[in-house]
C-alpha cells in the first residue's frame, strides 16, 4: 500500500512542530520556556513582599539583579514566539510539499526542490495529536498532519512506516 500526503502547513502546525521538537530533543528548553512566566510572576510576588516588608529597602543594589532576572524570565516566551514567527516566514516555501511513500522510500517535492529518501534515512518516528513526525536528523522532520493524507489511511501509516524503517513509531501525548 502506498501513501500520498500533500501538506500546506499553517503557522500553528509549524509552532506545534517547533515545540514538539523542543520537547523531544531539548526538554530543558521546552520546560524552561513553559515555566518561565510562572517563575517570573513568583519572583515578582516574592520581591514585592520583600520590598513591602522593608527587608531590601536599605540595600537597593540587590534590586537590579532581581529586576534583570525578572525581565529575562518574562521576555523568554515572547522571544521564543518571535523566533518561531521568523522561522515560519523563512521556511514558507518548504511548508507546502508533496510526499509519496512507496516500497523503496519517500519522494518529496515542493515548488522549489525535490528529494528522495530511502527508508534507512529516517532516524526517529513520532505520532502526536494527529500529526506524524518523521525525523531524518535532530532538527529536520517531515511534518505530516493526518488531515493532509490524500492516498492511504492515516491510521495505517504508523505501522507501515515502522515496518519499512525497522524503527518504533513512538506515541507522544
Mean per-residue pLDDT for 144-149? 92
Neighbours of 173 (CB within 10 A): 4
For residue 44, pLDDT beyond 80? no
Give 14 or 28, the one with higher predicted confidence: 14
Query: What was the pLDDT predicted at 58?
Result: 59
Query: What was the pLDDT predicted at 59?
Result: 59
Give 31 or 76, the one with higher predicted confidence: 76
Model confidence over 151-164: pLDDT tens digits? 999 999 999 999 99
Cβ neighbours of residue 154 under 8 Å, at least 6 residues apart?
132, 146
Query: What was the pLDDT predicted at 45?
Result: 75
For residue 1, pLDDT beyond 70? no
Neighbours of 15 (CB within 10 A): 17
The overall average pLDDT reported for the chain is 80
Cα–Cα distance list, 78 to 33, 107, 144 (Å): 10, 37, 27
Domain ranges of the chain: 3-8+93-171, 13-90
In this structure, CATH architecture of domain 3-8+93-171: Roll (2.30)
Query: What was the pLDDT predicted at 166?
Result: 94
Amino acid at each position: 500500500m502506498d501513501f500520498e500526503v500533500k501538506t500546506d502547513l499553517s503557522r500553528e502546525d509549524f509552532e506545534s512542530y517547533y515545540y514538539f521538537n523542543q520537547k523531544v530533543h531539548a526538554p530543558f528548553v521546552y520546560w524552561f520556556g513553559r515555566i518561565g512566566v510562572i517563575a517570573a510572576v513568583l519572583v515578582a510576588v516574592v520581591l514585592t513582599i520583600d520590598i513591602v516588608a522593608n527587608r531590601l529597602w536599605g540595600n537597593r543594589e540587590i534590586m537590579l539583579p532581581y529586576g534583570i532576572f525578572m525581565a529575562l524570565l518574562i521576555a523568554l516566551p515572547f522571544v521564543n514566539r518571535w523566533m518561531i514567527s521568523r522561522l515560519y516566514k523563512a521556511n514558507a516555501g518548504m511548508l507546502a510539499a508533496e510526499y509519496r511513500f512507496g516500497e523503496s522510500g519517500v519522494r518529496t517535492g515542493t515548488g522549489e526542490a525535490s528529494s528522495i529518501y530511502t527508508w534507512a534515512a529516517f532516524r526517529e518516528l513520532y505520532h502526536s495529536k494527529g500529526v506524524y513526525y518523521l525525523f531524518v536528523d535532530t532538527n529536520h522532520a517531515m511534518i505530516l498532519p493526518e488531515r493532509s493524507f490524500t492516498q492511504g489511511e492515516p491510521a495505517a501509516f504508523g505501522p507501515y512506516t515502522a515496518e519499512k524503517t525497522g524503527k518504533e513509531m513512538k506515541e507522544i501525548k
